[in-house]
Amino acid sequence: MKRDFVTMFDLSKEEISEIFKLTKQLKESQNKGIEHKILKDKTLAMVFEKPSLRTRVTFETGMTHLGGHAIYLAPADIQLGKRETVPDAARNLSRWVDIIMARVFTHKTVEDIAKSASIPVINGLSDLEHPCQIMADLFTIIEKKGTLEDVTIAYVGDGNNVCNSFISASIVLGFKLNIATPAGHEPRKEYTEKAKNTKLTHNPIEAIADADIIYTDVWASMGQERETAKRKQIFMPFQINRELLQHTNKDYVVMHCLPAHRGEEISDEVIDGTNSIVLDQAENRLHAQKGIMVWLSQHN
């Protein structure tokens, strides 16, 4: 059976552990200068409908480290659904390359690519989920805390794709998750209805009170730019700043998937502070995605 990574639900707890083990090995090899050309002569097609810094650089660099090659397909190059249908594009790519990574506007697009492609497909971001980000984040938390057991993650901000993927990961892995959003900006019900270890609140102080990890993201995602001014007013009480963090554990760390809108969802003093691990999680996008690509190649 073909394996894809479109949502966190595509992997079991045991499979996620396997990928984290691979990620750790690959990171250690890189840090020691040991070559790991596991995907020698393999090609990754990177389909982009949305711009990116981290996703493009980490996937392309990761494929190079693994001995393979990555092809960047910009929106103007492929024009999914315009020049040809999504299924036709996926079937063509399947004849030429070995893996597809797609960063798209709607989740249905990456689902349609996965259904039509005969090769593994990775969700590099959709409006519903951002599973590669969460894999990097959870790997980073394990590095810092040693385990996900007995760890409480507080997500403060918009109930967006990152938030949805955190919920799905908590369902699969069982860690405790607190989510604080303004009323009307909660994560999707089809996720929260399944979540046994997730607490929803509209009070950021309540969410972070027992948290080991304080996580935030932008208030207006790509495609919501027209709502930016309105959202600033609604979300300002949810800013991660020094005053808010006085209400949490002494051993907390702060995370942000980046890019950050400094002075909005997070203050300069926090993102640049001693408790911030945002650059560690950004680096781990590279290592975690290498682990995902290797694992998928081994299971297809």
Residues near 30 by beta carbon (within 8 Å), at least 6 away in sequence? 36, 65, 287
Distance of CA 157 to the CA centre of its chain: 16
Amino acid at 29: S
Q: Please confirm, yes or no, whether 257 is among the known catalytic residues.
A: yes
How many other C-beta atoms are found inside a 10 Å radius of the C-beta of residue 279?
10
Considering the candidates 217, 231, 239, 287, report the single residue annotated as catalytic: 217
The residue among 78, 106, 110 whose CA lies nearest residue 92 is 78
Residue-wise over 103-116: b if at least 16 C-beta within 10 A, else e?
bbbebebbbbbbeb
Considering the candidates 103, 107, 231, 287, report the single residue annotated as catalytic: 103
- Round to whole Å and give the CA distance between 73 and 262: 30
The residue among 291, 290, 267, 252 whose CA lies nearest residue 70 is 290
Considering the candidates 65, 133, 239, 281, report the single residue annotated as catalytic: 133
Q: Please confirm, yes or no, whether 217 is among the known catalytic residues.
A: yes
Retrieve residue 22's tokens: 């691979």
How many other C-beta atoms are found inside a 10 Å radius of the C-beta of residue 226?
9
Q: Which helix (H) or strand (E) holds 180?
A: strand 176-180
Please say whether the beta carbons of 100 and 122 come within 8 A: yes
Considering the candidates 112, 257, 287, 289, report the single residue annotated as catalytic: 257
Considering the candidates 56, 130, 231, 256, report the single residue annotated as catalytic: 130
The residue among 287, 296, 294 whose CA lies nearest residue 40 is 294
Considering the candidates 107, 231, 285, 287, report the single residue annotated as catalytic: 285
Helix (H, G, I), strand (E, B) or coil at 38: coil
Task: State the catalytic residues.
Answer: 103, 130, 133, 217, 257, 285
